[in-house]
Each structure stands twice: as C-alpha cells, then as structure tokens.
Amino acid sequence: MQNFDVVVIGGGPIGIACGLEAQKKGLSYVILEKGPIVNSLFNYPVNMQFFSSSEKLEIDGIPFISKEAKPKRDEALEYYRRIVTSNNLNIHLFEKVESVTQEKKGFKVTSSKTSYTTDNLIVATGFYDLPNTINVPGEDLPKVSHYYNDPHFYASQKLAVIGASNSAIDAALECYRKGAEVTLIIRGPEVGQRVKYWVRPDIINRIKEGSINAHFNAEVKEIKERELTINTPEGELALENDFVLALTGYKPNFAFLTQLGVQLSDDEKRLPQYNPDTMETNVKGLYLAGVICGGMETHKWFIENSRIHAKMIIEDILTHSNP
C-alpha cells in the first residue's frame, strides 16, 4: 500500500491543476483517473468548440495557443496532455476508485488496481458521468443515447434531440448538416438562453425556415422502436423515429459524496458543504475542486473560475502540515 500526502480523484483539467500545485510545493501526490487524460473532455463531441477562450482554459499560467479564440476539443486534449507529459505528473490512468474509507488518520483509497493511504483527499470528478434521465418507457432502448459524439452516425436518419442547452443545439445543427431529419423536443417555450451566442441565432433561423422541426413546451411520453410519442400543447403526437439523443444534462455522483460523509443541501440544488476559502468539506482533510462544487447547479463552475481551487487547497494543506 502506497502513502501520499495528497490523493486526487479525477484527472480532468482541475485535477491536473491540483497535481501540478502539489508537485510545485514538494508534496507527494497521485492523480487517479478512471479513463484517459481529461476523460470527460475526451468524451465530448468530436467537433465541440468551447464557449471560453483559450486563455480562460489555461492552468498554472501555461499558455494555451489555439487557431481560433475559442478552441476546439482536439486542441484542448493536446494542451492538457502536453501539460501532463511535460511535467511528468504522477497520474494513474484507467484506474477507477472503487471505495474510500476514513481511517483514524486520513483516508484509505482502494482502486481497481491497488490501495493508497493519504491525509488529504481531493475530489475533482466533475459531473459528466451521470446523465439526467427523462424516466419514460423505452429510455433504455439501444436507439437512445445520453451522449453525442459524431454527426455522421445519424446521416439520413430520423433523429429526435431532447433538450435546449448547448449540447442539444450543437447536436441538432451538426446532424442536420450531415443529412439527418432532426426534430428538437424542448420542455420550455424557447431555445435555452445560455446557448452560445454565435449558435443561438443559427438554430432559431433553422427552426423558422423549417429545416429543423421543433416542438416547444413538449415532453416525451414514450419511446418505441420506430416511433416517439410526445405531449405538446396541441395534444399527443406520434413521430416516426430512428434514434433519440436525450441531451438533458448531467449531475455529480452524489452517492459517492454521501459515502464520503460530505453533507449536501436538502433542496434540489444538492450543494455540497465546503469552506469557500479553503475548499475543505465538513470532513477534515477532504477537499472538493472544480464543477463538482456546484451540485446540480452545473452551470456555476467552469474551468476558468475553478482553476484557482488548486492553489487554495494546497495552501490549506501546507498550513495544516506546517502550523
């Protein structure tokens, strides 16, 4: 069993930032990532473009140079990969954390490969692993996915896209331009206000001209092999359908946080309890970093405003170890 001053769960941009900061301050550390480097970004759509500009995605002051002001997914993958390799970070890839137990002092972290002990645990796992389900009959059919990758897959198919956020709108536009017959199903009265400002006019115009069908104030009632039943203000409709992209957002692993002893708010936001000055939770030695801090408010924390968590956490750890 190996012992480290710090164990970081999650090898995304903020987990990497925590590892960099620990390394600079002379702390022993390991980053545990269940997939490849920046696993969540790797699983983003192949053509995704960030809302933030490249300098906002930088960590530790390391310049991020991109072709356009707002970088693409492949550029981000290259940037964070180079940071890991150039700094020889101690990151264990494809090593999933299976359990964490509190010891008399610190924590025991058991992974799919081995176990570790540490006085300080940083959870930087994000929220992209658990989709918000729509809980209707047929949601478990093979034709339904909560993740979108490549528009080519849907060419010449009848595709229903559920959602009104960036992921849903990007998918609808890209698939339409690759020859899919796209129908948007939106629970509210309009396209989401947080949709990227250069994309929102595009989708609105495609809907107006009839290139993309859209049903507002609508909800899916049932998904079948060859059709989709939705409830609309005009009544129930049955749509011919080949595939469904249910892009209704994602949520943190609250069960994992609860198992760790982190207290969550009782309201629908499920906000975890932590000290905003140190990022330490109600559990001594347990810290949160990145978007997981926002609970269900997944639009609250991004790389650009949570990258500071790394310095805050490591400074607090050093304060405790050097009183």
CATH no. for residue 178?
A: 3.50.50.60
- Which pLDDT score is estimated for 139? 97
Regarding whether 11 and 116 lie in a shared domain, the answer is yes
- Which pLDDT score is estimated for 155? 98
Tokens 């970081």 locate to 8
Tell me how far apart the alpha carbons of residues 129 and 304 are, in angstroms, rounded to a whole number. Answer: 21
Residues 97-118 have pLDDT tens digits of 999 999 888 999 999 999 999 9
Q: What are the tokens at 292? A: 């997981």
Strand 29-32 to 158-162 pairing: unpaired
Query: How many domains does the chain divide into?
Result: 2
Boundary residue ending a domain (211, 246, 281):
246
- Which pLDDT score is estimated for 322? 61
Boundary residue ending a domain (246, 268, 298):
246
Regarding whether 43 and 104 lie in a shared domain, the answer is yes
Regarding whether 114 and 44 lie in a shared domain, the answer is yes
Nearest to 223 by CA among 158, 162, 137: 137
Regarding whether 255 and 192 lie in a shared domain, the answer is no
* Residues paired with 92 in a beta bridge: 32
Regarding whether 137 and 46 lie in a shared domain, the answer is no
Regarding whether 116 and 174 lie in a shared domain, the answer is no
Boundary residue ending a domain (246, 280, 306):
246
Residues 211-230 have pLDDT tens digits of 999 999 999 999 999 999 99
Residues of the chain with pLDDT under 70: 322-323
pTM score: 0.90
Q: What are the tokens at 183? A: 């129908």
Tell me how far apart the alpha carbons of residues 228 and 276 are, in angstroms, rounded to a whole number. Answer: 45
- Which pLDDT score is estimated for 78? 97
Could you tell me the residue range of the domain that residue 221 belongs to? Answer: 133-246
Strand 144-145 to 181-185 pairing: unpaired
Regarding whether 117 and 86 lie in a shared domain, the answer is yes
- Which pLDDT score is estimated for 261? 94
Regarding whether 311 and 283 lie in a shared domain, the answer is yes
Regarding whether 236 and 142 lie in a shared domain, the answer is yes
Regarding whether 124 and 25 lie in a shared domain, the answer is yes
Regarding whether 105 and 254 lie in a shared domain, the answer is yes
- Which pLDDT score is estimated for 301? 86
Cβ(236)–Cβ(121) below 8 Å? no
Regarding whether 124 and 271 lie in a shared domain, the answer is yes
- Which pLDDT score is estimated for 189? 96
